[in-house]
């Protein structure tokens, strides 16, 4: 009803615009209408059902701007069912990105910009090895920033050893709100370091597979499963606990990824149940290390760092979590994962599920060492045992007393007895014997200085000081 406004009639598939700056004849000016979702594809010879591909090698892109592509959308359930990667956050092997590598090795993308577009910035699909994405900007994208997506669960492991370094990824997921900034799906042994991720509609970083060999064809990711490569005894092996995961892990190739020295802020701004970093249903050997996660203020945030269903053998080490809100202002773990030398400082709200939350399943022998938790002024649980439903259906539950927990430092700004009950319970079973209660004496947390002043009890516990100036992009000019 006024200039500058528009409306879409979905039944007639027409857009009506009242232009704010029309031409003399009343027609709109400066209208851009993208017609394709994929601007450039670098593609080798893919032998999809076979064991070997023939990749293209050595293609380099430098100093280019990619912009104004369309969002790829499915039009029928036939093209969607079974092809969606976890929760349809993106689609398997589809032309959703402006620049796409599909069967490529030793390629480079440096100092490029991926901006103002309806879909994703860049994809590395199926066979992708030793490729390097460096010093690029991904901004104002309708969907994801960067997606690495290998072959579905099976024995063909062809997406690995790629470098994603020093990129600025911000204001993504502006059309499809659940799209991540970075996602490694069935992609392993990658090095993803010194990236900065700001302003997302949902999770900033996803590291997932979450597809079991027995998934139905039309189930989420079901058509990506390489059934001819699954052994007979594993085809009907259900998900359920650490031992089952260890048997199925050989089909989940998102393993041994190094995610370190990255920075995440202002995530989960449009949806709920999203996280700064989300790891679920992948292989072994994940390292989430030296992240600075701050100012993620959504009250629906389950955790700044979350190991969700069917996730084990992940190391969460040396991360600074400052001024975050959510169910858990710090870390959530559903499985046997190690949580070591993390700082959870000045949460923006009292977390309903604790600063470190152990959820739904046994977490036996998870290492919880040398962490610092500085509580909200109104307290809250430092550690929480979160059950699934009222009685957990008779299944085993997460029990703090079964973790390997010690040498942690706890501080409440006004209540010196905040941890008394927890420490009494844990010390009765031989845990938390060396843990302390006291002010960590950070130099200036509000100013980003988390080093220790002389006399800090953290030094006596062997806690490593963390320097957030080294986290995020190396050159922010």
Instruction: Please state whether 175 falls in left (phi above 0), alpha (psi between -120 and 50) or beta.
Output: alpha
What is the structure's pLDDT at 349?
93
Residue pair 174/140 in contact (Cβ under 8 Å)? The answer is yes
pLDDT of residue 387: 83
> What per-residue confidence (pLDDT) applies to 30?
84
Each residue of 366-376: pLDDT tens digit?
Answer: 999 999 999 99
Query: Which residues on adjacent β-strands are paired with residue 278?
Result: 206, 306
Please, are residues 310 and 409 in contact by the beta-carbon 8 Å criterion?
A: no
Q: What does pTM read for this prediction?
A: 0.94
Q: What are phi and psi of 174, to 5 degrees?
A: -85, -15
Distance between CA 462 and CA 184 in Å, rounded?
Answer: 33
Specify whether the backbone of 13 is left (phi greater than 0), alpha (psi in -120 to 50) or beta.
left
Residues of the chain with confidence (pLDDT) below 50: none
Give the pLDDT of residue 98. 98
* Closest residue by Cα to residue 37 from 5, 3, 14, 68: 68
What is residue 394's predicted lDDT score, i.e. its pLDDT?
65
d(CA 195, CA 466): 17
Identify the pLDDT of residue 434: 98
- 70 DSSP assignment: P
State how far the Cα of 79 lies from the Cα of 96, in Å rounded to an integer.
14
């Amino acid at each position: 009803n006024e200039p500058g406004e528009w409306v879409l009639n979905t039944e007639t598939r027409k857009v009506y615009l009242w232009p704010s700056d029309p031409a003399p004849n009343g027609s709109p000016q400066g209208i851009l209408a993208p017609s394709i979702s994929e601007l450039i594809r670098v593609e080798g010879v893919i032998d999809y059902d076979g064991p070997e591909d023939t990749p293209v090698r050595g293609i380099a892109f430098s100093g280019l701007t990619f912009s104004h592509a369309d969002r790829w959308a499915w039009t029928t359930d036939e093209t969607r069912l079974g092809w969606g990667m976890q929760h349809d956050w993106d689609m398997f092997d589809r032309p959703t990105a402006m620049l796409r590598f599909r069967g490529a090795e030793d390629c480079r993308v440096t100092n490029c910009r991926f901006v103002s577009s309806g879909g994703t910035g860049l994809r590395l699909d199926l066979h992708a090895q030793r490729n390097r994405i460096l010093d690029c900007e991904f901004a104002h994208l309708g969907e994801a920033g960067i997606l690495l997506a290998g072959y579905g669960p099976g024995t063909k492991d062809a997406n690995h050893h790629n470098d994603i370094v020093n990129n600025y990824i911000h204001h993504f997921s502006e059309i499809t709100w659940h799209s991540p900034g970075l996602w490694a799906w069935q992609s392993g042994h990658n090095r993803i370091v010194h990236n900065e991720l700001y302003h997302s509609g949902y999770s900033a970083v996803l590291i997932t597979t979450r597809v079991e060999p027995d998934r139905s064809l039309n189930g989420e990711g079901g058509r990506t499963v390489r059934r001819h490569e699954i052994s007979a005894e594993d085809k009907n092996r259900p998900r359920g606990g650490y031992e089952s995961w260890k048997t199925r892990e050989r089909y989940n190739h998102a393993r041994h990824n190094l995610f370190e020295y990255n920075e995440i802020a202002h995530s989960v701004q449009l949806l709920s149940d999203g996280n700064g970093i989300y790891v679920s249903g992948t292989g072994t050997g994940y390292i989430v290390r030296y992240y600075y996660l701050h100012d993620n203020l959504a009250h629906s945030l389950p955790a700044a760092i979350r190991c969700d269903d069917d996730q084990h053998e992940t190391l969460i080490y040396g991360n600074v979590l400052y001024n975050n809100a959510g169910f858990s202002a710090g870390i959530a773990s559903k499985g046997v994962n190690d949580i070591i030398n993390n700082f959870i400082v000045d949460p923006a709200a009292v977390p309903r599920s604790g600063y470190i939350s152990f959820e739904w399943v046994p977490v036996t022998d998870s290492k919880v060492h040398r962490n610092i938790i500085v509580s909200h002024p109104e307290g809250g649980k430092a550690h929480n045992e979160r059950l699934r439903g009222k009685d957990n259906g008779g299944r085993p539950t997460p029990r703090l007393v079964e973790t390997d927990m010690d040498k942690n430092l706890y501080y409440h700004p006004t209540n010196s007895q905040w941890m008394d009950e927890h420490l009494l319970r844990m010390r009765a079973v031989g845990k938390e014997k060396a843990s302390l209660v006291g002010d960590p004496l950070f130099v200036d947390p509000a100013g980003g200085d988390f080093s220790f002043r002389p006399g800090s009890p953290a030094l006596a516990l062997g806690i490593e000081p963390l320097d957030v100036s080294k986290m995020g992009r190396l050159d922010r000019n």
